Structure 1
Amino acid sequence: MAKNTGNDYRKGAVTARTQFQQPNGDYQKRDERSGQFMERKQSPGPFKGVAKEPDGRDTKNS
């Protein structure tokens, strides 16, 4: 399980979540189990500790 350290980084990976970059540049999270879209990040850069789509870490519906 991922934990915030309070020092501007996260220890561990966020499970069952992936992220992708939308055409307008915002990153959006997706629930890997249901495929449902989650929050969208409007500040620059990707979410911390969330796997990007596509990548080899994710298992089928992990």
Structure 2
Amino acid sequence: MATNKPIGDNARVGAVRGRSQVFNPVTGLWTKRDTQTGRFMNVKTSDNTPFKGVRKEK
């Protein structure tokens, strides 16, 4: 029988709120943005996959 993870293990369940991501075709990297201010927050440089759980902009 499956069990829930322990509380406090820093495992997120569901989507990240207040964030979006966009692909930069010039650099080939994904960039995370704040939806309230529109400021760029983070760039994922480790691999070419998008951020997990963050919605994508068109």
TM-score (norm 1): 0.67
Indicate the residue corresponding to 1:38 in structure 2: 41
Indicate the residue corresponding to 2:14 in structure 1: 12
Name the count of aligned residue pairs.
Answer: 48
Gaps spanning 5+ residues in structure 1: where? 55-62
User: Cα distance 1:21–1:33, how it changes in 2: closer, same or farther (>3 A)?
Assistant: same
Cα distance in 1, alignment partners of residues 41 and 14 from structure 2: 20
RMSD: 1.7
User: Cα distance 1:43–1:32, how it changes in 2: closer, same or farther (>3 A)?
Assistant: same
TM-score (norm 2): 0.72
Moved over 3 A (4+): none
Cα distance in 1, alignment partners of residues 28 and 46 from structure 2: 10
Cα distance in 1, alignment partners of residues 56 and 28 from structure 2: 14
